[in-house]
Amino acid sequence: RHVLPEVLRKLSAAAHAVWGDEGDAMGTLASRLFAASELIAEFTYYLFNGALYTRGSAAIAILSHHALYAWLLRPPAVGGRAERARHRLQALRCLPNWRPHTMPDIEAATSHTADAYVRGAYWASFEKPPEVAKDVLLKCLESQLQASEASASRGRADAQRMQRALKDLAASGGVLPG
């Protein structure tokens, strides 16, 4: 059985429903985002378990997890490169942090099924309590899909902070403070 292509097919359909590309985009935006988030979690489960204990596999799964959320929150079709970069930066703000000192790949490996991981371990693996992490993520995703001047302003402020941090890093000879 080829589970990854099947999960990606379902995720693609869920993403199109989120974007409103599908005529059958049933339910609220929040419910469609929740369905897509669960499929991202399922895909991540399979990546974590695909090469367990292999150097770099957890990092690949985490980066893929983040990339799938960035893809789900695709930038607006209009605008230049800087606007798309600001949108991606704002989208990354939505992602919850994994709890400190945890190993999400091991948490996935200890879940007997993908469904058990998605329903329990995935949401419990973040810093905030599961229901809070889920609620904060879904509200943030929804706000990012509904562009506003406030969101654009936050994006510009984030971009300016990042530019200052890069200039400070360059001025220090590449040595991080602290």
Q: What is the pLDDT of residues 65-76, one digit of tens each?
A: 999 998 898 766
SS3 162: helix
SS3 90: helix
pLDDT the model gives residue 55? 81
pTM of the model: 0.82
* Average of per-residue pLDDT across 27-46: 94
Question: Scanning the structure block, which residue is given the tokens 């654009």?
Answer: 152
Residue 128's alpha-carbon distances to 77, 92, 96, 122, 132, in angstroms, are: 33, 17, 8, 12, 6
How is residue 125 written in tokens? 């693996």
Residue type, 102: T
From CA 19, how far away is CA 89, in angstroms rounded? 19
Give pLDDT tens digits for 75-102.
666 667 777 777 777 778 889 999 998 8
Residue 98 bridge partners (DSSP): 126
* Average of per-residue pLDDT across 120-138: 94
Average pLDDT, the chain: 85
